[in-house]
Amino acid sequence: MTHNPSTPAGVLFDVEGVIAHPDPAAAERLLSAMDLDLAAVTRARNTDATYPLWERYSIGRLAPADYWAAVARALGRTDDAETVAGLRRAQRAAWWACIDDAVLAIVDELRSTAAREDRALRIGLLSNSAPEHEAYIGRFAGHFDAACFSHRTGLRKPDPAAYRLAAAAIELPMEATAFVDDKTRNTDAARALGMAAIPFTDAAALRVSLAGLGLLAR
């Protein structure tokens, strides 16, 4: 593979919808015991009143009990401790539960390809998240040089400050960094900041995009 001098020196990956996916069946099993289903909870989390609360929750500005109590009320339930704990359990069991091994293999291949070519490459994570995601974060250790999770950093996409923080975490300028995400609003924001934006659909398309940037062999 011929190295292109414009090849990015780093790649940042989103997590949900790219590397990891929810397990709806796990959530349904727990919610059914509460006479609820995942579709109802999803609707309750995305109302005009509750979505702004999710945004605050995902940057550490709202306590878990307060956020899930609001979701319980949006479901027409009481916001007692048992209901709040049940909702949190269901989401914790589902979020990021399923790793896309094909994408993670590409992450590892990026590093090995750069090593063979004696080329430095930094790889990181930039993801919106919540405390319930903590159970899964350890699985990414060893694959990435740095990780920026919104509930830890206080910054979430598409806030430009979140991208700047993540690029700094892998010690690169924005223009030397590529960003992979499944949401258009997030890739658009990255592109506006000078990053090489890669909209994610599946592992095969991701490989083609990374090869086009000179990061993998075609």
> How far is it, in rounded angstroms, from Cα 191 to Cα 67?
32
| Number of structural domains in the chain | 2
Same domain, 109 and 207: yes
**Listed residues 94, 113, 139: the one ending a domain:** 94
Give the end of a domain, one of 94, 115, 135: 94
pLDDT band (50, 70, 90) for residue 122: very high
- Looking at the fold, whether 116 and 159 belong to one and the same domain comes out as yes
Same domain, 111 and 201: yes
72 & 161 share domain: no
Q: What angle do CA 138, 170, 212 make, to 5 degrees?
A: 100
In a domain, 4, yes or no: no
Question: Tens digits of per-residue pLDDT, 4-32?
Answer: 557 999 999 999 999 999 999 999 999 99
Neighbours of 89 (CB within 10 A): 16
Burial of 80: CB neighbours in 10 Å, binned 0-12, 13-18, 19+: exposed
Q: How far apart are CA 206 and CA 132, in angstroms?
A: 28
Last residue within a domain, chosen from 94, 125, 142: 94
Instruction: Indicate whether 123 pLDDT > 50.
Output: yes
28 & 125 share domain = no
Which CATH number do you get for residue 181?
3.40.50.1000
Residue 156 resides in a domain? yes
CB 151 within 8 A of CB 61: no
- Does 137 lie in the same domain as 73? no
pTM greater than the 0.85 cutoff: yes
Domain assignment present for residue 50? The answer is: yes
Domain containing 40 equals: 24-94
- Which residue type is seen at 175? E
Tell me the C-alpha distance between 117 and 96, whole Å.
33
